[in-house]
């Protein structure tokens, strides 16, 4: 006997064999048991979640010889004919290959003939969004008022491409992606039935890669059986998927936490050695950062995920926010990198470059500067820092020098002090929106315009206070007063300086001889939005 792929072999024959679509199955089962049937159903949802399967079972439910039922007998002539694909009154059409209006007309010509074998004549139109506009029009009238013995079952992955006139004539059911845990259990069940030995975490990896699609999970299982030989194990599965273990990503985050550049780069090398898929690695990293961020707000109930909880404690929330942002931008830029390995590495180096100096980092000045192997990378790091500085609110990492004596020029003084404080994220945003009112002994008073008041909170104020204490090398009491007017804040100054630089850059580019020549030669215009200052 020829080998039948698992997805086909394990196509559910009854509603109860399906996984993950309970609400829809309940609605359909109730409608069938109470015989409250609509004449047109539309099943939507991503690939391989059960649209065609539901439609086929539904066809059996309508035609089983024992009567219309949610639990067809599976043994009568009609049930077996439908399962065997031999039932004359089930007309399955793949709209993708029959898009033309002539095809639709031909199909509908037979609508007015009674069913030859069963109770209902069923039109199952798959990928219905592929029909042409004329085909939709040809279908409209019959779809609205078909003969009583006709049912339309439409299925599509892309309902947005259906005309509203079609949508409004159908009862729509949206099938969800199947949750990871259910997919895994399903794979486990099938492995047991098929006598395949497996490691549980390998099945989790396959389920994860299937991204909610049951068909994909089964196709991957087929592949894994062929790839692993004997036993489905995590090592081969990861290699097959090009995926990486969460542990490796946790190690990256621990290295970043310690500002340990060498360990960080070693881990990336390690990933490369295991032929990791760096796109997937970045997605997984985003997912972990998200979980850490959530854990910082709501402590995790599951004590088992200890790395997440540990990292949630070790990192400041704004660091995680920053990393997430860098990873997200990196995801956009990764396809433009010369190769994914290098792109991924640069994203991590950027995180390292922007990570504000923490107490841990300053007490253990690690290898990033001293290790010759990565001296070049440290230089790249500085370059990246310069490039990105203008587009983020994160200041460059300052070095703490001797405190400046307060001067009468409050604006300048505050800008100077601020540039020496190690503030980031929201804390930096708050401080840079303030103006300096006065510094008296160990009291410092700042003013914040009323429109920025929502930024003000105790935690941020305390962080600024701490940074000031470090800078002045004594305890400082910070007072932030709300004012109605916005003075010359550092952020305003910075914006002014940026726009000045922008104006200068634009002027310089406009007047550049070479650019003039190129514009003349190619009849080109200058895209002002593309001018960036660094
Ligand atoms: N909910 C489910 N429960 C169990 N198996 C499922 C489910 N959904 C899909 N499958 C498995 O995936 C295979 C394909 O399912 P089906 O043809 O119903 O997907 P589909 O939603 O119509 O996908 P497509 O959009 O690609 O046509 C089935 O043969 C079955 O093995
Ligand atoms: Mg289908
Ligand atoms: Zn039957």
Q: What is the pLDDT of residues 1-15, one digit of tens each?
A: 578 899 999 999 999
- Residue 18 Cβ inside 6 Å of ligand 1? The answer reads yes
Nearest CA to ligand 1 atom 23: 48
SS3 sequence of 18-35: CCCCHHHHHHHHHHHHCC
Q: Averaged over 473-491, what is the pLDDT?
A: 87
Q: Averaged over 348-374, what is the pLDDT?
A: 57
CA distances from 248 to 268, 288, 303, 360 (A): 9, 12, 20, 22
- Residue 159 Cβ inside 6 Å of ligand 1? The answer reads no
- Look at residue 379 in the predicted model and tell me its pLDDT: 41
Nearest CA to ligand 1 atom 26: 47
Ligand 1 centroid–CA 11 distance in Å is: 7
Whether the per-residue pLDDT at 49 is higher than 60: the answer is yes
Contacts of residue 399, defined as CB under 8 A and 6 or more positions apart, other chains included, come to none
Pair 444, 476: CB distance under 8 Å: yes
- Look at residue 364 in the predicted model and tell me its pLDDT: 40
More confident: 511 or 362? 511
Average pLDDT, the chain: 85
Whether the per-residue pLDDT at 530 is higher than 90: the answer is no
Task: Tell the residue number behind the tokens 């003013």, with chain if given.
Answer: 447
Which of 17, 214, 218 has most ligand 1 atoms within 8 Å of its beta carbon, as the pocket-test mutant?
214
Residue 511 pLDDT level (bands cut at 50, 70, 90): confident
Percent of the chain whose pLDDT exceeds 90: 57
- Look at residue 472 in the predicted model and tell me its pLDDT: 86
- Residue 261 Cβ inside 6 Å of ligand 1? The answer reads no
- Residue 125 Cβ inside 6 Å of ligand 1? The answer reads no
Residue 415: its H or E element: helix 410-420
Alpha helix segments (H runs only) across 34-119: 51-63, 77-83, 101-109
Pair 150, 39: CB distance under 8 Å: yes
Percent of the chain whose pLDDT exceeds 70: 88
Adjacent-strand bridge partners of 126: 94
Half-sphere exposure of 209 (CA within 13 A, CB side): 28
Ligand 2 centroid–CA 50 distance in Å is: 7
- Look at residue 305 in the predicted model and tell me its pLDDT: 57
Ligand 2 centroid–CA 174 distance in Å is: 13
- Look at residue 241 in the predicted model and tell me its pLDDT: 82
Q: Averaged over 369-375, what is the pLDDT?
A: 39
Whether the per-residue pLDDT at 150 is higher than 90: the answer is yes
- Look at residue 75 in the predicted model and tell me its pLDDT: 96
- Residue 55 Cβ inside 6 Å of ligand 1? The answer reads no
Which of 8, 43, 50 has most ligand 1 atoms within 8 Å of its beta carbon, as the pocket-test mutant?
50
What six digits make up the tokens of 365? 């000045």
Whether the per-residue pLDDT at 399 is higher than 60: the answer is no
Among 30-39, 404-413, 443-452, the least confident range: 404-413
Nearest CA to ligand 1 atom 17: 52
What six digits make up the tokens of 188? 């486990």
- Residue 215 Cβ inside 6 Å of ligand 1? The answer reads yes
Ligand 2 centroid–CA 329 distance in Å is: 35
What six digits make up the tokens of 509? 């580019």
Q: Averaged over 475-482, what is the pLDDT?
A: 91
| 102-126 residue pLDDT tens | 989 988 988 999 999 899 999 999 9
Ligand 2 centroid–CA 155 distance in Å is: 7
- Look at residue 410 in the predicted model and tell me its pLDDT: 82
Q: Averaged over 148-169, what is the pLDDT?
A: 95
CA distances from 429 to 171, 323, 456, 460, 490 (A): 51, 17, 10, 10, 10
| 187-209 residue pLDDT tens | 999 999 999 999 999 999 999 88
Pair 40, 152: CB distance under 8 Å: yes
- Look at residue 359 in the predicted model and tell me its pLDDT: 42
- Look at residue 138 in the predicted model and tell me its pLDDT: 92
- Look at residue 249 in the predicted model and tell me its pLDDT: 92
- Look at residue 114 in the predicted model and tell me its pLDDT: 95
For ligand 3, a single-atom ion, which residues have Cβ within 5 Å? 64, 72-73, 76, 79
- Residue 218 Cβ inside 6 Å of ligand 1? The answer reads yes
Give the separation between CA 487 and CA 255, rounded to whole angstroms: 42
Ligand 3 centroid–CA 82 distance in Å is: 9
For the CA of 178, the closest atom of ligand 1 is 1
Ligand 3 centroid–CA 73 distance in Å is: 4
Give the separation between CA 496 and CA 455, rounded to whole angstroms: 22
Give the separation between CA 353 and CA 380, rounded to whole angstroms: 10
Residue 167 pLDDT level (bands cut at 50, 70, 90): very high
Ligand 2 centroid–CA 318 distance in Å is: 45
């Amino acid at each position: 006997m020829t080998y039948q792929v698992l997805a086909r072999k394990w196509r559910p024959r009854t509603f109860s064999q399906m996984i993950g679509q309970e609400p829809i199955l309940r609605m359909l089962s109730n409608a069938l048991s109470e015989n409250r049937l609509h004449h047109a159903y539309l099943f939507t949802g991503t690939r391989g979640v059960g649209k065609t399967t539901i439609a086929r079972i539904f066809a059996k439910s309508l035609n089983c010889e024992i009567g219309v039922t949610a639990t067809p007998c599976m043994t009568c002539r009609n049930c077996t004919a439908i399962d065997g694909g031999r039932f004359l009154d089930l007309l399955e059409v793949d709209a993708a290959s029959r898009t033309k209006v002539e095809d639709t007309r031909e199909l509908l010509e037979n609508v007015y003939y009674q069913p030859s074998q069963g109770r209902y004549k069923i039109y199952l139109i798959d990928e219905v969004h592929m029909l042409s506009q004329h085909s939709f029009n040809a279908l409209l009238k019959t779809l609205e008022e078909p003969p009583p013995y006709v049912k339309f079952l439409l299925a599509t992955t892309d309902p947005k491409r259906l005309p509203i006139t079609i949508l409004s004539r159908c009862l729509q059911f949206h099938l969800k992606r199947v949750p990871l845990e259910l997919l895994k259990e399903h794979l486990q069940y099938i492995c047991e039935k098929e006598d395949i030995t497996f490691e549980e975490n390998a099945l989790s990896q396959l389920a994860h890669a299937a991204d909610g699609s049951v068909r994909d999970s089964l196709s991957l299982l087929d592949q894994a059986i062929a790839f692993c030989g004997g036993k489905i194990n995590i090592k081969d599965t990861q290699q097959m998927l090009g995926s990486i273990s969460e542990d490796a990503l946790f190690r990256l985050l621990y290295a970043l936490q310690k500002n340990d550049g060498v360990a960080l780069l070693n881990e990336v090398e390690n990933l490369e050695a295991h032929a990791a898929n760096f796109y997937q690695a970045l997605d997984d990293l985003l997912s972990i950062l998200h979980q850490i961020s959530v854990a910082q707000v709501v402590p995790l109930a599951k004590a088992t995920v200890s790395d997440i909880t540990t990292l949630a404690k070790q990192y400041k929330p704004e660091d995680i926010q920053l990393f997430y942002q860098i990873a997200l931008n990196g995801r956009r830029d990764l396809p433009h990198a010369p190769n994914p390995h290098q792109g991924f590495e640069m994203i991590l180096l950027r995180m390292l470059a922007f990570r504000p100096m923490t107490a841990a980092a300053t007490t253990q000045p690690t290898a990033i500067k001293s290790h010759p192997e990565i001296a070049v990378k440290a230089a790249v790091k500085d370059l990246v820092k310069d490039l990105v500085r203008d587009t983020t609110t994160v200041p460059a990492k300052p070095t703490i020098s001797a405190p400046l004596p307060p001067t009468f020029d409050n604006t300048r003084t505050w800008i100077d002090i601020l540039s020496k404080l190690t503030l980031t994220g929201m804390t930096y945003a708050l401080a840079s929106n303030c103006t300096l009112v006065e510094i008296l002994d160990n009291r410092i008073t700042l003013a914040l315009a009323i429109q920025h008041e929502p930024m003000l909170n105790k935690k941020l104020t305390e962080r600024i206070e701490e940074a000031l204490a470090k800078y002045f090398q004594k305890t400082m009491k910070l007072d932030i007063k709300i004012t109605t007017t916005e003075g010359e804040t550092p952020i305003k100054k910075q914006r002014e300086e940026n726009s000045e630089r922008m104006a200068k850059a634009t002027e310089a580019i406009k007047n550049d001889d070479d650019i003039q020549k190129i514009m003349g030669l190619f009849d080109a215009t200058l895209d002002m939005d593309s001018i960036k200052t660094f």
